Each structure stands twice: as C-alpha cells, then as structure tokens.
Amino acid sequence: MRFLIVNVSDILQEAGSVLSIQNSLNLGNITWQGEPLRFKEPLSITGTLTNSGGALILNADIRGKIILQCGSCLESFEKNLDFTVKARLVGPSNNTEPDDFVFEGVEVDISDMVWEFLLLEIPIRRRCKDPCKGLCPECGVNLNRETCQCAGSEESDQSLALDQRLQVLKDYFSAESKEV
Ligand SMILES: [Zn+2]
Ligand SMILES: [Zn+2]
C-alpha cells in the first residue's frame, strides 16, 4: 500500500487555519480478505485539513474506480467510488476518541483514513449485475453469457411439450379444413 503524505507544518500553529488537499493516491493491486481489489487509476482526493485547535480535521472527497470480483460468476466488474472521508487527527497525547487517528511531527499520512473509509464502500455481496445468473453448478459455464444443456433441460422439456400440443391442434385444424 502506498502512502499519501501531507505536510501540515503551515497549519499546526494556528487554530482555524486550513490546508487544501488536491492529490491522488495510487493503491495499485491489493489482496483483501483473500480477494483481489484492483484500481484502474489512482484515486482522486480533494478536500481540506483544518486545525480545529487540538486536532486536525480531515474532510475529503474521494473519487475513482475499483475493480471487484463477482461472488456469483467470478467475473471482474467495475464499481465507481465517490465517498467522503471525515476524520480527526490528533497528536499522541490528545488521543482520546476511539476513532481518532494519531500523527506525530509535521507529516500526516492520510492513506490509512482513505483506506478505512474505502473498505466501507465495498459491498459484502459483490455482484457484477443484479441479478447475476452465476455459473452452472453442473458444467460451470457463465450463465450470463451462455446457456448450457444442464441448465436449460427443464425449460426445453416444457417448450417441447408445448410444441407437441400445438402440433396436435395444427393437425386437428388441418384435418377439419380438409373435411370442409
Ligand atoms: Zn456475476
Ligand atoms: Zn451447465
């Protein structure tokens, strides 16, 4: 995982001072919970760090695209990311809230905060589309793209039966028309 270091020396002294952030974060390829998370391009990060007196408040909009794996058909699909990171950064001696991020010195790495909020954006049930037909449990073909004999057998039996019934009707009518 790459870092995104922001130098906060300009805003550390004075409460109320604001530092704008306009940056990009390249997360590359990550394995998370045994699954690949891929990013086509760096995430764009736009926002501010504000000295609130005693803490730095990060407020940033994150945009980008993540490539996830469908849990049903195992194909990759793209999901747009657009979320806000709000976090409180404090020095080691001010660390009172459980959600606080701790920083030391004049350099703050905001990639941890982006990452933490990013994970909330990843759906537990990952589907390429809704509904995804998934893979055939018999032969393994992707049923979104192909049909197979095993999956279609029930359906073709039904349509065959329907064809037979229509054929009977056809015969009936043609027999009748012959009599007329
Ligand atoms: Zn799928
Ligand atoms: Zn099949």
- The residue extents of the domains of the chain are 5-121, 147-180
Residue range 113-132: mean pLDDT, rounded: 92
pTM: 0.74
Each residue of 42-58: pLDDT tens digit? 999 999 999 999 899 99
Give the pLDDT of residue 156. 46
Output the six-digit token pair for 153.
């057998």
149 C-alpha to ligand 2 centroid (Å): 6
132 C-alpha to ligand 1 centroid (Å): 5
Give the pLDDT of residue 11. 96
The ligand with the least distance to the CA atom of 126 is 1
Confidence of residue 177 (pLDDT cuts 50, 70, 90): low
Distance CA 90, CA 101 (A): 6
More confident site: 89 or 176: 89
Give the pLDDT of residue 169. 58
Longest distance between any two alpha carbons in the chain, whole Å:
105
71 C-alpha to ligand 1 centroid (Å): 7
Confidence of residue 97 (pLDDT cuts 50, 70, 90): confident
77 C-alpha to ligand 1 centroid (Å): 8
Give the pLDDT of residue 33. 83
69 C-alpha to ligand 1 centroid (Å): 8
Each residue of 144-175: pLDDT tens digit? 999 998 855 454 444 455 555 556 656 665 66
The residues, ordered by sequence, that sit 6+ positions from 127 with a Cβ below 8 Å of its Cβ are 70, 71, 72
The ligand with the least distance to the CA atom of 70 is 1
143 C-alpha to ligand 1 centroid (Å): 9
Distance CA 9, CA 49 (A): 11
137 C-alpha to ligand 2 centroid (Å): 7
Residue range 84-88: mean pLDDT, rounded: 96
Has residue 18 got a pLDDT over 50?
yes
Give the pLDDT of residue 84. 98
Distance CA 162, CA 98 (A): 66
The ligand with the least distance to the CA atom of 76 is 1
